[in-house]
């Protein structure tokens, strides 16, 4: 559901790249605020309703969150919160959640290659950095697998919500120039 929206968001982001380039702070602030409001909303739902049943969003919600993620990922590399906002209420088991995010972001990043080439954003000088940092992806993947095996679904969700809060705070603070 998210990938068609992500493709549309990437296309829109590519078309408006020059106009939004100077407004990344506003976009980061908006996505950060959205992330924080979502977490606050979920906390209040748990407090008032107790255990919250899994919610299966409509296809239109997936397309919308995909579009927001593709757009913000293209312009400000801030596509994570909309994906988390879409996936978390579904109460997916942690392996499905991780697998879904891996597939979504692999697809989004692959879809951005063409627009980034067209916008002349890739430079050969960056390849040295890529080659130096590439081995760290293996370390990150192994660490993620190790951690995933040690978390329960409940603690995993808490960790994802905590990361969403930290990400939201970071995006809002970046938007304010802190």
Show the domain range for 72. 2-124+153-175
Q: Dihedral of CA 112/115/119/123: which sign?
A: positive
- Tally of domains in the chain: 1
CA torsion angle for 32, 36, 38, 42 (degrees, to 10)? 160
Is 134 a domain residue? no
| 105 pLDDT more than 90 | yes
Is 140 a domain residue? no
Is 58 a domain residue? yes
Give me the mean pLDDT over the 29-56 stretch: 88
Is 90 a domain residue? yes
CB 164 within 8 A of CB 39: yes
Q: What secondary structure letter does DSSP report for 50?
A: S
Quick one: pLDDT at residue 135? 94
Quick one: pLDDT at residue 178? 85
Q: What is the overall mean pLDDT for the chain? A: 91
| Separation CA 2–CA 61 (nearest Å) | 8
Is 148 a domain residue? no
Is 100 a domain residue? yes
CA torsion angle for 18, 16, 34, 38 (degrees, to 10)? -140
| 147 pLDDT more than 80 | yes
Is 130 a domain residue? no
| Separation CA 53–CA 157 (nearest Å) | 14
Is 143 a domain residue? no
Give me the mean pLDDT over the 60-78 stretch: 93
């Amino acid at each position: 559901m998210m990938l068609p929206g992500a493709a549309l968001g990437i296309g829109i982001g590519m078309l408006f790249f020059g106009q939004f380039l100077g407004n990344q702070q506003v976009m980061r602030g908006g996505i950060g605020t959205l992330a924080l409001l979502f977490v606050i909303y979920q906390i209040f739902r748990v407090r008032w309703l107790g255990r919250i049943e899994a919610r299966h969003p409509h296809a239109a919600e997936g397309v919308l969150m995909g579009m927001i993620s593709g757009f913000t990922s293209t312009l400000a590399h801030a596509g994570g919160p909309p994906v988390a906002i879409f996936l978390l209420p579904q109460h997916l088991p942690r392996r499905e959640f991780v697998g879904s995010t891996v597939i979504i972001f692999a697809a989004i990043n692959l879809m951005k290659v063409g627009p980034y080439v067209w916008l002349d954003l890739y430079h050969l000088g960056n390849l040295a950095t890529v080659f130096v940092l590439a081995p760290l992806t293996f370390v990150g993947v192994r660490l993620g697998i190790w951690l995933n095996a040690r978390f329960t679904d409940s603690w995993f969700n808490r960790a994802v919500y905590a990361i969403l809060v930290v990400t939201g705070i970071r995006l809002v603070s970046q938007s304010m120039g802190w």
